[in-house]
Amino acid sequence: MKTCNKCRIKVLDDTNTCPLCNQVLEGDEKGHDMYPNIMAGVRWIRFFENIFLFLSVVSGMVLGCLSIMKIFSPVVFVIVGLILLYLNAIIRVAVTGQSGYMLKLFSLYLLAAAVLIAIDGITGYKKWSLDYVIPGGIMTLDGAIVALMLINHKNWQSYIPYQITVMLMSFVLLILIWTKVIDDPVVAVIAFLVTVSLFLGTVIIGDSTAREELKRRFYF
């Protein structure tokens, strides 16, 4: 950082003369950083990511050896491995990922659904993941969208496409009920009704703004 002895001001850029009086500046010729060094924080986050990944790999190797030695059941090894996989995904996608927060939210939901279905399958497949967890996750997405619409109320209509995506996911629940893949349909039906009601309420209450957003997004 350079200083003008006449005007008593500090100049942050790399100019050699004072912008007020044109006097030659004195001070550090190397200049001064005008912006904070954000790379230091990014490096620490990456370091934490790699440490957690390393610990996850080591933990998986230890559990794998213990399961081979029949100290732990292989089921425990698979469940812990899936949980560690999801935790690493949370760090990689949600914390340091470069994609938008809604894309992160949907990605983490789909991965969580896959992990829970896998855990349900290896523990006897009692369908608790499909009957309760997956529909509950869809309603959680509905709640997250409503919260974001309230927070970003000046641009609330931009969340309509995400509502449509969740609504399509809720239609899949109806197909699973119809094909008897879901045994207990109560939570799935509630999730479908909540999702469709949210979309219809947004379109009806949003009136012309919602319709214009639909036309802009989908050309109808």
For residue 81, the number of C-alpha atoms closer than 13 Å in the C-beta half-sphere is 16
User: Are residue 147 and residue 161 in the same domain, yes or no?
Assistant: yes
Lowest-confidence pick of 39-43, 99-103, 133-137, 149-153: 39-43
| Residue 185 located in a structural domain | yes
| Residue 29 located in a structural domain | no
Beta-bridge partners for 4: 9
User: Are residue 89 and residue 137 in the same domain, yes or no?
Assistant: no
| Residue 210 located in a structural domain | yes
Which of 98, 120, 152 is the C-terminal boundary of a domain? 98
| Residue 43 located in a structural domain | no
Domain count, the chain: 2
User: Are residue 110 and residue 216 in the same domain, yes or no?
Assistant: yes
| Residue 196 located in a structural domain | yes
Q: DSSP for 154-205? A: GGGGGGHHHHHHHHHHHHHHHHHHHTT--S--HHHHHHHHHHHHHHHHHHHH
Give tens-digit pLDDT for 85-101. 888 888 877 666 666 77
Domain hosting residue 137, numbered range: 101-220
Grade residue 31 by pLDDT with cuts at 50, 70 and 90.
very low
Give tens-digit pLDDT for 154-177. 888 889 999 999 999 999 999 999
User: Are residue 183 and residue 171 in the same domain, yes or no?
Assistant: yes
User: Are residue 116 and residue 191 in the same domain, yes or no?
Assistant: yes
User: Are residue 136 and residue 68 in the same domain, yes or no?
Assistant: no
Residue 32 backbone dihedrals phi, psi, to 5 degrees: -140, 140
Coil, strand, or helix at residue 99? coil
User: Are residue 77 and residue 173 in the same domain, yes or no?
Assistant: no
User: Are residue 73 and residue 136 in the same domain, yes or no?
Assistant: no
Highest mean pLDDT: which range of 39-43, 75-79, 129-133, 206-210: 129-133
Tell which residue, 106, 209, 117, has the closest CA to residue 156: 209
User: Are residue 81 and residue 117 in the same domain, yes or no?
Assistant: no
Identity of the amino acid at 104: K
| Residue 159 located in a structural domain | yes
| Residue 188 located in a structural domain | yes
Confidence (pLDDT) at 119 = 92
| Residue 170 located in a structural domain | yes
On the question of pLDDT at 139 being above 90, the answer is: yes
User: Are residue 90 and residue 116 in the same domain, yes or no?
Assistant: no
What is this structure's pTM?
A: 0.70
Cα–Cα distance measured from residue 67 to residue 59, given in angstroms and rounded to the nearest whole number: 12
User: Are residue 90 and residue 152 in the same domain, yes or no?
Assistant: no
User: Are residue 151 and residue 105 in the same domain, yes or no?
Assistant: yes
